[in-house]
Chain A
Amino acid sequence: MPKVRRARTTPPWWFALPAMLLFAFVVLVPSARGVYYAFTDWDGLDPGFSFVGLDNFSAMFRDADAVQAIWHTLLIAVAITVVQNALGLLLALGVNSAIKSRNVLRVFLFAPAVITPIVTAYLWRNLLGPDGAVNSLFGVVGLGGWRQDWLGSPQVALWSVIGVIVWQYAGYSMVIFLAGLQSVPKEIHEAAAIDGAGPVRRFWSVTRPLLAPALTINLMLSIIGGIKLFDQVYALTGGGPGHATDTLSTLIYKDAFTLGEFGYSIALAVVLTVIVAVASTGQYLVLSRNERATS
């Protein structure tokens, strides 16, 4: 009696209800309202507000600070993605070798990733100051010429922020790459070595294709994390000097909570949403095609 059996073993739909209600209350309904508010002059308090069409969006593209913040957001996302993953992969290859300290190093190098970002950012704000430890260290090792105001100079500040994030999360990328590397069977490596493939050739032809799932996750995490970046910028520079390190997230916060322009702030959040959506779907399409092609 296959029919009866199936009817009895199907879990009921209401199992999904509590999760759905919470999700709808916290994410779906407020997000939908947010999209609506983006077309109004809502100030966050007054229940009376009026529809202003695309005014918030056209104001945004005339607002040099907003346009700059969008560029910073994209630059941060791309730079973090490239540098953090390149370093993470190198660290993973190093830790996956025959060295004796590999287990200790793995635990140690990942540790920054579990520390609260706002806390590491305050730590680095001091280290990167004019009299901070970074400049002292450069002085001691004879690189005094490299000393500068890492967070106070508009040309350097954005790169300092990127450096702090890479410091914190390179170990995270490493751990995910490492899980990918350890899923590569030893036999395949040995077979390739017997067939005369050198280490570089083995990496490219054996390891790299099998790393595709780890790469997908790592790229997704770093791109989306980079686009939404808030804590570190808030604590390191507050978006300054001037607006040199403002990102979409810091601008959303400032416009809403220091300027009271909720409608405009939410329009910025809509732009952020569109960027995240485009980046993640685009990446999903490209990488899933690659994964299929290489597997």
Chain B
Amino acid sequence: MNRYRRHTFALELSMIAIALVVGFPVYVLVNLAVRPASDTSSPISPTTSPTLHNFTQAWQQGALGGALGNSVLVTACSVFVVLAVSSLAAYPLARVTARWSRGTFLAFLLGLVLPFQLASLPLYQTMRDLGLLGTPWALVLFYSGLQVPFTVFLYVGFLRALPRDFEDAALIDGCTPLQGFRYVVLPMLKPITVTALVLNTVAVWNDFFTPLLYLSGSAQQTMPVAIAGFVGQYVTDWNLIFAALVISILPVLLVYFLLQRSIINGFAGGLRG
């Protein structure tokens, strides 16, 4: 039934046309980022004398290297903590039917609904009292808790569909529960761990509101806040701003195109979880 007919060709052409419309902003982005400030022609006509000057200038003046480092640090630490504590917690929550287990799971479900705006202001005060404001550790701590409910939810759903036989066998053979988790359960969780890794990484990397609150006024910025600061500083110098935007997008797109299969499956994977 999947033969290539004339209407398939028409469909192919219209889909490509849609993709071109979707890609149009990216064309303009690159086109203006390589354009010298003296060139004032229409933003959609191709730049005649492209230059990389905007990129070097944006990189130096925006302190984007430091921001990139902070983003990598915050994302790596938070995602690692979230995956570790959530997979560990999901194990008893998926296997034990006692009241404490169901109650804890319900509390996590409640966390899925609570918008972080509610917690972020009182937590701002706590972070200030702890002296964490303005440091990346405030963010690591915040995401480590914020992303737990969703991640536990993914793991519990996946674990419930897995048979218990392997864990039982390992424990009867003399494994401690922690060894059983580490060497038997965790390897079986790999598919959902990929999903959780992808979704958490994207969520933490892209978040803007939290670092805007907790890092405001500090020299330590993550990429999204550094970009916002850059735009605030070079208000109308769009060629320079666009170069900064390209610099911030580049690592993300690079990872995306390299790992596109796992990433897209990761996003679609919540469906099976």
The residues of A with any CB-CB pair to B shorter than 8 Å are 5, 8-13, 15-20, 22-28, 30-31, 33-35, 37, 44, 91, 94-95, 97-101, 105-120, 122-124, 126-127, 131-133, 136-137, 140, 167, 171-172, 175-176, 178-180, 186, 189-190, 193, 213-214, 217, 227-228, 230-231, 234-235, 248-249, 252-253, 256-257, 262, 265-266, 269-270, 272-273, 276-277, 280-281
Contact = CB atoms under 8 A, between A and B. Distances in A.
A12 B171 CA distance: 13
B189 interface: no
A265 B14 CA distance: 47
A16 to B, nearest CB: 4
Determine chain A's interface SS by DSSP, over half rule. helix
B19 A109 contact: yes
B145 A23 contact: yes
Contacts of A25: 141, 145
A116 B207 CA distance: 8
Interface of B: 1-4, 8, 11-12, 14-16, 18-19, 22-25, 28-29, 32, 42-44, 81, 84-86, 88-89, 91-93, 95-96, 100-101, 104, 107-108, 111-126, 141-142, 144-146, 148-149, 152, 164, 167-168, 171-172, 177, 180-181, 202, 205-206, 208-209, 212-213, 216, 223-224, 227-228, 231, 238, 241-242, 245, 248-249, 252-253, 256-257, 260, 263-264, 267-272
Given A99-B15, A179-B269, 10 more contacts: A9-B168, A18-B84, A112-B22, A116-B248, A117-B206, A120-B25, A123-B29, A126-B241, A272-B118, A280-B113
Contacts of A17: 89
A12 B8 contact: no
Given A30-B122, A119-B227, A126 B253 contact: no
A15 B15 contact: no
B264 A31 contact: no
A26 B268 contact: no
B23 A119 contact: no
A26 B123 contact: yes
Contact of B118 (A10, A98, A273): A273
11 contacts: A28-B111, A30-B126, A31-B114, A107-B257, A108-B23, A112-B22, A116-B205, A133-B24, A172-B267, A234-B208, A249-B117
A133 B25 contact: yes
A122 B123 contact: no
Most buried by A among B206, B213, B263, B270: B206
Given A10-B96, A116-B252, A253-B209, A110 B177 contact: no
Contacts of B213: 257
B231 A231 contact: no
A11 B107 contact: no
A228 B118 CA distance: 11
A167 B44 contact: no
A151 to B, nearest CB: 14
B242 A126 contact: yes
B245 A122 contact: yes
A190 B2 CA distance: 11
B231 to A, nearest CB: 5
